[in-house]
Amino acid sequence: MSRRYRARIGFSAAVAVLMASLALPQASARTADSGSRCSGGYVALTFDDGPTGTTAAYLKALRDAGRARATFFVTGTLADGQRAGTRRIVAEGHQVGNHSSTHPDLVQLDAATAFAELRDTSRVVRTQTGRAPTLFRPPFGSTDARTRRDAARLGMTEVIWTADTVDWSGIPTETIVANALTVKPGGIILMHDGLPTTLAAIPKIVQGLAERGVCPGRIVYSPTPVEAWPGLTFHAKAAPWR
């Protein structure tokens, strides 16, 4: 999980050039959500730390990649300042999840402040979209029993990830793609909003999944624990869109 969060908030340079230069592979990615092409199962594409000035470009890249759909974990402060972005995410059929209000390490906060981080973001999302989020991702993947209870109290399932692209670290697009494609069916890929390298990776990831018969899916509750890394499990997985 990126600790360069604040540095990415202002990212806007080169977005237009990147949008023009995105090369969409022409194979089965065009029907990324077609049941006949999803024999290999589903994985979830997730983007943290938005919405940003680049969210519209991400949405276009997903549309162009066979109308692939994803889950955007938004922070309350950014969602409040980018209201059109949050509404557009939902309008285009994607999921919106809660990623706290100001992106702190929730485990390090006192109980009241930590709960307010989740509550306030859920209120922002509900106000903007008409629906409170049902998914929650803790910043940095830092969680504990209290954090999970807070999420459940607000009607949310905690979502970690099973494939970390490490896109925030400055690695090239090709490495982001390779990291994403380590995901297994049912898994969840971690990426971030506001990064030109990740934007360029979207069509390549969708194409790479399509070549395996795997489609981008939505996130649902999993009764079976899923391992994020040794010592941490969560209860979420990818499933077909309804």
Secondary structure letter of residue 15 according to DSSP: H
Long-range contacts of range 130-134, CB-CB < 8 Å, 24 or more positions apart?
131/90, 133/96, 133/97, 133/98, 134/97
Q: Which two tokens stand for residue 153?
A: 């109290």
Phi-psi region of 231 (alpha: psi -120 to 50; beta: other; left: phi over 0): left
Instruction: Compute the radius of gyration of the chain from its Cα atoms.
Output: 16
Q: How many CB atoms lie within 10 A of CB 107?
A: 14
Q: Which two tokens stand for residue 115?
A: 């709960």
Cite the active site residues.
48, 192
